[in-house]
Amino acid sequence: MDTFDPTLADRFSFGLWTVGNTGRDPFGEAVRAPLSPTYTVRKLAECGAWGVNLHDNDLVPFGAPASERDRIVREFKSALAEHGLCVPMATTNLFSHPIFKDGAFSANDPKVRAFALRKSMDAIDLGVELGARTYVFWGGREGTEADACRDPRTAVARTRDALDFLCEYVRERRYDLRFALEAKPNEPRGDIYFPTTGHMLHFISTLAHPEMVGVNPEVAHETMAGLSFTHGVAQAMEAGKLFHIDLNAQRIGRYDQDFRFGSEDVRQAFLLVRLLEGTMGTEPYRGPLHFDAHAYRSEDEAGVWDFARGCMRTYKILKARAQAFDADPLVREIIADVKDAAVDPLLAGYTREKASSLRALAIDPSAVAKRGLRYEQLDQRMMEHLLGVR
C-alpha cells in the first residue's frame, strides 16, 4: 500500500467493456478471452475501483428472454453487493447490431428509430435497477459517409425528439437519473453528428428539459478533434454541465486510441487533474472518474489489471503533483489575480457612466505591453513539479 493506491473515496470507475476489451481491432482477432461481468466486478474491487459501468448488452446479451435477463441481473447484483462496487453510470449499445448501420436516433428508417427508443427505455430501466444516477448517450453510429443521405438538420431534430421523449420517460417513471451526452468527431462513422462537447453544450439548450441533460466529455474524442480537452471540460464545469467524464489518453491525428490515462500527453493530463481536483482553490468536480480506456492488444489478462491500476495510480500521482504545484509560492505569486481598484468595477455590468469612465481611463498601451508575465518561469516550474524535481 502507498499513498497512490486507489480508495473508494477516489470514485474511480471502469466500464465492463473497458477491462473486458478482448483486443480485437479492424486488423486482428481477439487476443484475450472475454471476462464474465461477475468476475470483472471481483477483479475491479481487488484493484481498488469504486464503480463499474455498462452498456445494456455488456451484461444482458442482445435479444435475451426476460427470464435470462432477470437471472443475469440477479447474479450481477449479488456480485456488486459481495464486492462493494456500485454502478454509477449506464448506457445503451446503439452501435453494434447491424440494425444501427445507418444510425439509431437519426436513422432514415422510422423502424430503426423506434427500435433505438425502445432499446433505450429498456436499458434505462436496467441502469436504474442497478443504481445508476447518470445515463450516457454516445451516438457512435449517428453520422454519415454519404452525407447527402439526409439533411443534417433532420439528424439534429430526430436526436432532439428522441432525447425529449426519453427525458419524459424518466420523468414519468420518477427515476433519479440525469443524461450525459458524449461527443466524438468520427469513427466508426466518417463524420459523427454533434462532434465535440461544444456542439453538445449548445444542443442541450434546445431540449425540452435541459436541466436533466449534461455532457460526458472524453479525452480521446476532443483530442481527435484537435481541441484542448481541459478547456472543453472547463466550459462544461462553468455551465454546471459536467455530469460525467471519460478519462483515457490519445495522440492527436490518430484513431480513437483509448489508452491508459496519462500515458500520452502528461502535461494535459496534469492540467486536467488540476482542474477536476480544484487544487488552485476552485470548486472540484465531484462526479465519477470513469476510465473509458483499454489495455494494449499486446497484453494478457494480467496486463489488463496492470492497465486498470495504472489509470488510477497515474490520476492520484498527478493529483499530488497538482497539489504541490498550486502550493508552490512562486506559482501562487505568478498566477495571483492582478487587481486594479480603478479598473475592475468598470469591466462588467454596462452603464453609461462606466462607458464614459472607460473612455476617460489613462492607459498607456506601450507601457502596459512592456510588462513581463513570467509564464516561462511558471511553465518551467510546472515541468519541474511534473518531472519530480520539486
Q: Among 21, 40, 91, 159, which residue sits at the site for ligand DIG (rule: CB under 6 A)?
A: 91
Give the whole-angstrom CA distance, residue 383 versus residue 381.
5
Task: State the number of binding residues for Mn ion (CB under 5 A).
Answer: 6
In the complex, what is the shortest distance from the CB of residue 134 to Mn ion, in angstroms, rounded to a whole number?
A: 13
* Cβ-contact 256, 250 below 8 angstroms: yes
Q: Which of 219, 164, 160 is nearest to 194 (CA)?
A: 160
- Asked whether position 58 contacts Mn ion by CB under 5 A, the answer is no
58 is catalytic: yes
In the complex, what is the shortest distance from the CB of residue 32 to ligand DIG, in angstroms, rounded to a whole number?
A: 18
Mask of contacts with ligand DIG, 209-248, x by CB under 6 A?
Answer: ---------x---------------------------x--
* Interacting positions 275-304 with ligand DIG (CB under 6 A): 292
Catalytic residue among 2, 5, 25, 55: 55
Give the whole-angstrom CA distance, residue 4 versus residue 115.
45
Catalytic residue among 58, 246, 256, 258: 58
Strand partners, 143: 192
Strand arrangement, sheet containing 134-138: 213-215, 178-182, 134-138, 89-91, 51-55, 12-15, 289-291, 246-247
Burial status of residue 4 (CB atoms within 10 A of its CB: 0-12, 13-18, 19 or more): middle
125 is catalytic: no
Cα distances from 383 to residues 161, 181, 260, 316, 379, in angstroms, run 48, 34, 21, 17, 6
Give the whole-angstrom CA distance, residue 225 versus residue 219.
10
Residue closer to ligand DIG, measured from CB, 6 or 139: 139
Give the whole-angstrom CA distance, residue 204 versus residue 198.
10
Residue closer to ligand DIG, measured from CB, 127 or 262: 127
By beta carbon distance, the residue nearest ligand DIG is 138
* Interacting positions 229-248 with Mn ion (CB under 5 A): 246
In the complex, what is the shortest distance from the CB of residue 305 to ligand DIG, in angstroms, rounded to a whole number?
A: 20
Q: Among 167, 177, 220, 271, which residue sits at the site for Mn ion (rule: CB under 5 A)?
A: 220
- Asked whether position 218 contacts Mn ion by CB under 5 A, the answer is yes
> Site residues (CB under 5 A) for Mn ion?
218, 220, 246, 256, 258, 292
Active site residues: 55, 58
> Site residues (CB under 6 A) for ligand DIG?
15, 17, 91, 136, 138, 182, 218, 246, 292
